[in-house]
Structure 1
């Protein structure tokens, strides 16, 4: 990452006069914080026109998260949903609050945080799917309600929750979830629910047999 990019991330369009010198100080402090074995190369290295963090293998929680997510995908692809759920749960257990905490930055850092949040949402969706495929409908209901409390505009969670409730013989509650999704989307975005949600709603009203089959993404 170039020194100019670091300056832009920290101070935006109004950097102090001694911004470059300040970056050098920050990098020096970072190197002191990151201890390494005697004789080993420090992970923070100078590379013109700036600096680079050189990490090997699974040295960060992000590396571990992505590895577990990949393992879960592989298990799900071959039909081992129990193992898949275990990997997805293990991956999600690494999260501690919002992405990057309360740290705020420029375009690069914010884009990175958005990418991480998308990975987290994908992992959450896949865990819910694994539980639905195993028939753990009642278990996944509370999990999805919690997910929606944090991501009230994420339509996939409503979709999965409606299926889980229907399969738990809670048809009226499943229909109410649709109305909740509709109210939220209209109030926040001025939009109607997506086609997949509307189809699930209609399928529940008509007790469509396909709702009892493998996880229906679209009807």
Structure 2
């Protein structure tokens, strides 16, 4: 694999360091899809489906080859990449971006988030909170905020946003398990307001309030959850939410590290 100073950021606007700015919309889609599948072959058909999902032009393969050629020139011209053209290779049926995944932010995010989840499972909440905070710190905005999304990049965006919410939930879990109830309340109120149907945020807010000695407010949050679920989905709160409400009502204190 070619040694390079190239870094690619997808968690926000697209940024490719050590390379002349890529401005053409289709080129940005191509490099985004290749980066999201770094060191794996992205087939010609997958690229065509991403760039022209409705009706590809008659000369689509020639156009795609031109895009790859243009990207190779950009990589080869990087200040630290005398062999930069080797970063983008041709393989039977497609192309591969031969870039270490440590140089692409989505893979660094996933590694840190997984490490944080494992630390929480080992009952190391301080370490888990640190790792998950670092993972979330890589996000600069919506995935590929300034790149056109075909079906594959759209699916990637949805998948990564789900991972972000999971990491955020786990980070708050770690804070609660560390006894940091009060400092999570404001953030959780914001999350509940912006993710009305995300029940786990309500449960976490109930836990944070209850752990801060604010029993009545915790019960009010449960009432709001019940109202929203009934009006929006015609559903009742989950068993876990009801169990925690019952613990509050009976005066028992749920452990800070229980799973919402």
Superposed pair shares fold, TM > 0.5: yes
TM-score normalised to structure 2 length: 0.74
Matched, 1:77 2:121: yes
Matched pairs, number: 216
Runs of 4+ more than 4 Å apart: none
Aligned to 1:56: 100
**Separation in structure 1 between the aligned mates of residue 219 and residue 147 of structure 2, nearest angstrom:** 39
- 1:8 deviation in Å? 1.4
CA contact (8 A) 1:210 1:216 kept: no
Match of 2:199 in 1: 155
Structure 2 segments unaligned to the other structure (5+ residues): 1-41
Deviation at 1:88, TM superposition (A): 0.8
Alpha-carbon distance, 1:139 to partner: 0.8
Q: What is the match of residue 60 of structure 2?
A: 19
Q: Secondary structure at the match of 1:96?
A: coil
**How many Å apart are 1:95 and its aligned residue?**
0.5
SS at match of 1:192: coil
**CA drift at 1:127:** 0.8
Unaligned runs of 5+ in 1: none
Question: What is the Cα-based RMSD across aligned positions, in Å?
Answer: 2.3
Tell me, in whole angstroms, the C-alpha distance in 1 between the residues paired with 2:141 and 2:70: 26
Higher relative contact order (CA 8 A, sep 6+): 2
Where does 1:76-115 land on structure 2 (aligned, <5 Å)? Answer: 76-101=120-145, 103-115=147-159
Larger deviation: 1-10 or 32-41?
32-41
In structure 2, relative to structure 1, the CA distance for the partners of 1:46 and 1:138 (3 Å cut) is: same
On the 8 A contact 1:44/1:54 being kept in 2, the answer is yes
Q: Relative to structure 1, is the Cα distance of residues 25 and 147 closer, same or farther in structure 2, using a 3 angstrom cutoff? A: farther
What's the offset of the Cα at 1:41?
Answer: 5.4
